[in-house]
Amino acid sequence: MDPFLTSRIVTDILGGLTNGVSFGMVALSLVLIWRSTGVLNFAQGAMPMFATYVGFALLSYHFGYWACVVACIIAGLLIGGLTERLLVRGLYGKPEINPIVVMVGFLIVLEAVAAAIWSSTPRSIPSPFSSIHWQLAGKPFALSPFTVYEIASALLVMAAVAALFRFTKLGLQLRASALAPEVSRLLGVRVGRLLTLGWMLSTVVGVITTILVASNFFTGLTPQVMDGIFAYGFIAAAIGGLESPVGAIIAGVVLGVVNQFVTDYVNQNAVIIIALAILIVSLMIRPSGVFTKSTQRRV
């Protein structure tokens, strides 16, 4: 059993799983903001990045890792709420291209401001767990305490978001506010506050993802740290379906594993081509997403 667990195939699966949970978390944050506000946020990588810089600036004042994580989450809540109030609030009901253009511009601004304040040099973030792989029979096994922490965090966040929309009144109100704001107002729902809350929660999910990515020894924190991961997360969200939190995670993990095998057995330059091919095929088969249930509207 030990030779199999340390084999090339298992190593690729575990490596792809580690990368895939990051893709899935970004996809999950996109699903969260879509279901709660009906907007695709193309600054979903930049906003959490900026909040992570703000939170981990406390390292200079001798704060510990977990205190900085809490600060990052608080900063993410503030950035998400202010973004919705100041930038997005006036775009609801407008052509769909309007929020896309605004958020792409906001992405560029955030990355430029982060580089101006903290520079583009990768900034190391302390990891709460070791990144050294465990050993089996003297051979490295492609899991470490940090990767287990990363996977467990993704599963916990996924379960929390799925439970929010499936089992809570708040989740129902968030969805209703996005789909039918006028009707929701007539029923006494505070639509404005819920739309703001949706952006805040989505940014927090992105912050957790950014912290996990930036805590990786090989990555560090940079203004562009989430750009590539956001691209794969967006593909995963489209494949899984923007209505399915579980589908976002599953599609992200599958995409991560496929990318790992393509990198190892084909060519690293073919990774994005394969990912786009999977996206095109999945959208041809299920335009609304593989894990989104098709519904018929009665007339």
CA distances from 29 to 65, 154, 166, 223 (A): 23, 11, 16, 19
Output the pLDDT for position 287: 81
Residue ranges of the chain with per-residue pLDDT less than 70:
1-6, 137-138, 140, 217-218, 293-299
Output the pLDDT for position 193: 84
Q: Give me 119's structure tokens.
A: 């520079």
Q: What is the CATH number of the domain that holds 81?
A: 1.10.3470
Q: CA 292 to CA 244: how far, in whole Å?
A: 6
Amino acid, single-letter form, for residue 5:
L
Nearest to 221 by CA among 118, 131, 123: 123
User: In terms of residue numbers, what domain contains 266?
Assistant: 2-121+139-285
In a domain, 164, yes or no: yes
In a domain, 269, yes or no: yes
Q: CA 21 to CA 256: how far, in whole Å?
A: 8
Q: CA 193 to CA 99: how far, in whole Å?
A: 19
In a domain, 236, yes or no: yes
Q: CA 158 to CA 152: how far, in whole Å?
A: 10
Please write the tens of the pLDDT for every residue from 138-150. Answer: 676 778 888 888 8
Going 39 to 251 to 269 to 210, the CA torsion angle's sign is: positive
**Domain count of the fold of the chain:** 1
In a domain, 88, yes or no: yes
In a domain, 219, yes or no: yes
In a domain, 148, yes or no: yes
Which 3 state secondary structure label does DSSP give 141?
A: strand
Which 3 state secondary structure label does DSSP give 244?
A: coil
Output the pLDDT for position 67: 94
Nearest to 77 by CA among 56, 113, 51: 51
Output the pLDDT for position 1: 53
Q: Report yes or no: 248 and 13 within 8 Å, Cβ to Cβ.
A: no
Q: CA 117 to CA 13: how far, in whole Å?
A: 38
In a domain, 295, yes or no: no
Q: Report yes or no: 262 and 48 within 8 Å, Cβ to Cβ.
A: no
Output the pLDDT for position 150: 87
Q: Report yes or no: 203 and 73 within 8 Å, Cβ to Cβ.
A: no
